[in-house]
Homo-oligomer: A and B are copies of this chain.
Amino acid sequence: MGGDTATDDGAGPGRSEAPRGYVLADAPGPLDADLLRRLDAWWRAANYLSVGQIYLMDNPLLRRPLEPGDVKPRLLGHWGTTPGLNLVYAHANRVIRERDLDAIYVMGPGHGGPGPNACAWLEGTYTRRYPAIRQDEEGMRRLFRQFSFPGGVPSHVAPETPGSIHEGGELGYSLLHAYGAALDHPGLTVFCVVGDGEAETGPLAASWHVNKFVNPARDGAVLPILHLNGYKIANPTVLARIPDDDLQSLLRGYGYDPVPVVIGLDTNPAEAHQALAAAFDRCLDRIAGIQADARERGKGGLPRWPMVVLRSPKGWTGPRLVDGQQVEGTFRAHQVPMAEARDDTGHREVLEAWLRAYRPGELFDDAGRPVGELLGLPPAGDRRMSANPVANGGDLLRDLELPDFRDYGVEVAVPGRQRHSATRVLGAWLRDVVAANADQFLLFGPDEVASNRLSDVFAVTGREWMAATVDGDDHLSREGRVVEVLSEHLCQGLLEGYLLSGRHGLFTCYEAFIHIVDAMFNQHAKWLEAASAIPWRREIASLNYLLTSHVWRQDHNGATHQDPGFLDVVLNKKPDIVRVYLPPDANCLLSVADHCLRSRQYVNVIVAGKQPELTYLGVDEAVAHCTRGIGVWEWAGTERRGELPDLVLASAGDVPTLEALAAAALIREHLPEISVRFVNVVDLMRLLPAEEHPHGLSDVEFDALFTTDRPVVFAFHGYPWLVHRLTYRRHNHHNIHVRGYKENGTTTTPFDMVMLNDLDRYHLVADAIDRVPGLGPRAAGVRQAMVDARTSARAWTRQHGDDIPAVADWRWPG
């Protein structure tokens, strides 16, 4: 059927060689001859459809010889990894059917986007999701044309890809997404192909060890398939070139039992199919054994999970030689093997021969529909990996059971008199959130849940841990709802996988070190941006960050632990998706956290300190304030009814709010002639114009709070220019004077740290005096007194090693 075509005298400066196709050999193994033949046919179909997507905009069934106009003008895509991804897909389908597995597929080498598109089309899911892409010739034409074409689908696995929870952009997170999906899904199997390029990244290298946090009694299984196709864009891969003994040793060291499958350029596909089928059977038998040991025989301890090491040529079944250079099995197969297929007749002939080598006539009927035996090969309904609801997590999402946070609030009879650790107060509520949602809520952190004062949760759960334990270990448990590992990458990636597969969670982290996952945050936010525009993608639970141990309380840790810039990274993403909250006290943190855990399809960033700080609002006031997101604290101001204030003192963040209040008290005491309005911002997005963000204030609302012409002194948690960026279009922007963090960290005490950044009460009062017009000469004296108070406070810290008591013990005077 046209499979033996060869172009011995191809295009360009040298010789090109199209694939000759192949006849399946006899090969012993678990597949009977009929299944082997059908499975191979399905794989050929997926490969044909993949090549078609990369190259063709018309003539999908090759009804006539390829013409230049059939080939896309811009050839963009990645062939190299695709046949391997399709091979795994076909074999996963066999074992899903034979074992009735509930399975999804995570593709680390997500550049091979044509593969899962092809497989989903063969399974009928593509047409279900995109009715215009029918399972016929015209549908195939559209499937091909839309790929990496203006207005079409990306060349990578993406939110648009049915069955995917993993985008093929930035590399390194496949195992994390796979394991995250498996947690608390005891019936799930995740096939996860790890590319050997991706395997060089840090997050991937660390994530093999996630098996220490997977409980076979409670969680599902991940079957990692390390795909050694040997090359990246231009280089060989490390894992493909170390001695095989070292590779085996490495994977055993990670705690796995590696099962090798070796395919060479000249391996007959029948042998490859039998070898991979045998490896899958062995691994899935072993997984079933591990689960039965844990579930039926109560066996504890850390099992040795199986994995597959699949060595196969990059771009297998593609052109072996193009213009005299070897392509199949080399890095040259990475993207588009023949870049000139539109304009160069020789290249086009190789392309056509390559496509025909898959024997499309056997695979598709005259209408372009997959032949019956292909349609019958995949599992049915939700068992299809492209249709599994786990990979469209919103389909499975259940609301959290949330206890009423009001019951956990602290009493605030008078504002600013009593101190509470906001995170400790939150911890009690989180304890009961954990208890009430024992199969759908996890808390992640890099070994800081206790140090961040959330340790009340350990009254009802432990830290997930499957490795050895010794006397004296603190709350380790095989049933833990807290996942702690010293890698922000691992915390983030597991939580992403957990959310994308329909559950809820919270990631607590030191504020400065959340930058470690900037790139992962970016990618997840982009996933949400894209997914929100796809009708069949259901909304998932928001990704919630609690950033504590924040910039203002990093005294001894020094400059390395001071960085509030994650907010700047977050605000670069699409406003529909991102939310930033700076609750000023414990009750506000409760209110904000409750709101975030109820929300969908956002990234919520909450910044709140763990140290005991003053509380200002009773729980009902906190709810009202946080619901508004921004508001005037009348008790802290001295406005005269019916008049605009002389000064607006604004704050966002717990430490800045304390300093701004202390400044307000100083002004009231020393310069009562200045009437002050005190504005506190909890929801940072309120500062943006209403046109820019759904939470944004209208100009009328903004002006009502900040006036159009009075000086505003703004004490801000982060880098000061972020407030300017949010407010630069506002009428009164030129009057907004912001104090925040600037890079100058040194070793010091909390208040000295604030002073170093000119965010302290004394400086804020001086700022106010400098900006309020028409003050009398007495103001100059007050200003000098502020400077002197500052000087004394700094001298005190240097002498005593602690903050001056007048500041350390300060309370709102009432």
User: What is the interface size of chain A, counting residues whose CB is below 8 A from a CB of the partner?
Assistant: 125
Q: Quick check: is A625 within 8 A (CB to CB) of the other chain?
A: no
Q: With A253-B250, A557-B154, A747-B154 as given contacts, are A206 and B200 in contact (CB-CB < 8 Å)?
A: yes
B450 contacts A574, CB within 8 Å?
no
Bound-state Cα–Cα, A212 to B558, Å: 35
Residue of A155, A169, A252, A525 with most partner-chain B CB within 10 A? A169
Distance between A247 CB and nearest chain B CB, rounded to angstroms: 7
- The answer to whether A151 and B798 have CB atoms under 8 Å apart is yes
Please, which residues of chain B bring their CB within 8 A of the CB of A447? 197, 232-235
Q: For A572, give its contact among B252, B724, B743 (CB under 8 Å).
A: B743
Q: Are A331 and B474 in touch, CB under 8 angstroms? A: yes
Of residues 739 through 768 on chain A, the ones whose CB sits less than 8 Å from some CB of chain B are 742-749, 752
Residue of B nearest to A158 (CB): B558
Asked if A529 and B74 sit within 8 Å, CB to CB, the answer is no
Closest to A334 in B: B451
Determine the chain B residues whose CB is within 8 A of the CB of A752 once the complex forms.
150
| Nearest CB in chain B: distance from A232 CB, A | 4
Residue picked from A248, A555, A744, most chain B C-beta under 10 Å: A555
Q: A447-B233, A467-B242, A743-B529 are in contact. Are A560 and B156 (CB under 8 A)?
A: yes
Interface residue? A254 (CB, 8 A)? yes
The residue in chain B whose Cβ has the minimal distance to the Cβ of A523 is B560
Q: Name the segment of A133-141, A290-298, A483-491, A608-616 touching the other chain.
A: A483-491
Asked if A802 is at the interface of the complex by the 8 Å CB criterion, the answer is: yes
- Find residues 452-469 in chain A having any chain B CB closer than 8 Å to their own CB: 463, 465, 467-469
Binary B-proximity of A207-223 (CB < 8 A = 1, otherwise 0): 10100100000000000
Is B472 a contact partner of A326 (Cβ separation < 8 A)? yes
B203 engages A202 (CB within 8 Å): yes
Within 8 A of B (CB), among A102-132: none
Nearest B residue (CB) for A736: B728
Within the complex, the shortest CB–CB distance from A684 to chain B, in Å, comes to 14
Rounded to whole angstroms, the CA-CA distance of A559 and B149 in the bound complex is 14
A563-B522 contact given A202-B490, A556-B148, CB 8 Å threshold: yes
Instruction: Indicate if A255 sits at the interface (CB-CB under 8 A).
Output: yes
Q: Which of A247, A449, A560 has the most CB of B within 10 A?
A: A560
Residues of B within 8 A of A512 (CB): 169-170, 522
A692 closest partner in B (C-beta): B721
Q: Which residue on chain B has the smallest CB distance to residue A167?
A: B560
- Residue pair A519, B515 in contact (C-beta under 8 Å): yes
Asked whether A770 is an interface residue with its Cβ less than 8 Å from the other chain, the reply is no
Asked if A362 lies at the interface with its beta carbon under 8 angstroms from chain B, I say no
Residues of A within 8 A of B (CB): 57, 72-74, 76-77, 148-156, 158, 167-172, 197-198, 200-207, 209, 212, 232-238, 241-243, 246-255, 302, 326, 330-331, 447-451, 463, 465, 467-470, 472-474, 476, 484-487, 489-490, 512-513, 515-516, 518-519, 522-523, 525-526, 529-530, 555-561, 563, 565, 568-569, 572-574, 719, 721, 724-725, 728, 733, 742-749, 752, 797-798, 800-802
Known: A169-B512, A169-B558. 17 other contacts (CB 8 A): A76-B555, A150-B747, A150-B749, A154-B558, A170-B513, A202-B204, A205-B209, A234-B474, A236-B467, A236-B470, A238-B467, A252-B253, A253-B254, A513-B519, A563-B572, A721-B725, A724-B728
Query: Could you write out 28 A-B pairs with CB less than 8 Å apart?
Result: A73-B801, A149-B747, A156-B557, A156-B558, A158-B560, A169-B559, A200-B486, A201-B206, A201-B487, A232-B447, A234-B449, A234-B474, A235-B474, A235-B486, A236-B465, A236-B467, A238-B467, A241-B468, A241-B469, A246-B255, A248-B253, A250-B253, A515-B519, A523-B560, A568-B569, A568-B572, A574-B744, A724-B724
